Amino acid sequence: MDREPDISALWAEAERFPDKTYPVDKWNPTLCGEMDVLIQKDGTWLHEGRPIARAEIVRLFAKLLRYEDRGYFLVTPVEKLRITVEDLPFRIVDRDGLTFVSDQGVRLPLGEAHPLMIDVLGDEWLPRLRVRGDLWARMTRAETYRLFDAVQIETGEGCVWLTLEGQRFEVPLCEGGK
């Protein structure tokens, strides 16, 4: 049976501990069902078809998010609820040098912990950056243009090399996207 969590308890948690991080990769609760949460392709989070108006709740849900077995889940020590994600759960909305900024305000320095990949869909190149674990952020169209305006690109077999801020990065091309 699907079970919705107590939203008021989540609001209280989000307001009391806005900067708290959670060890979601270490929690292993059993699947409790599905929660009517959808992350749209543009990064908008919906609950029961309506945008989640409180940014604190979106930030809390983002911290409780995990990807496994081809699905996205909100995870607590005692609950695991499947949610729906249209593309990727996060967006890259800004860049300062080699550091990218997600729509949740997370700063992601380009490198081994936060590699860049490019999904290729037809003629379209859609860059993404790892946030944590197997959670990725899609670059917005504006950030994609900014990135490609700022880099030198060399193409090769199955990857490209981008030179940004004087550093060269090998970036895999993923046919068909994630």
167 pLDDT higher than 60: yes
CATH class of 7-85: alpha beta
CATH of 90-175, one of 2.60.120, 2.30.270, 1.20.1530, 2.10.110: 2.30.270
Average pLDDT over residues 64-76: 93
CA distances to 11, 61, 113, 123 from 20, rounded to whole Å, are 13, 12, 20, 41
pLDDT of residue 76: 87
Enter the tokens of residue 149.
């305006």
- For position 1, what pLDDT does the model report? 41
Query: What contacts 32, CB < 8 A, 6 or more positions away?
Result: 2, 3, 79, 80, 81
Q: pLDDT value at position 155?
A: 84
> For residue 108, which amino acid is it?
L
Mean pLDDT on 39-47: 96
Mean pLDDT of 65-88: 93
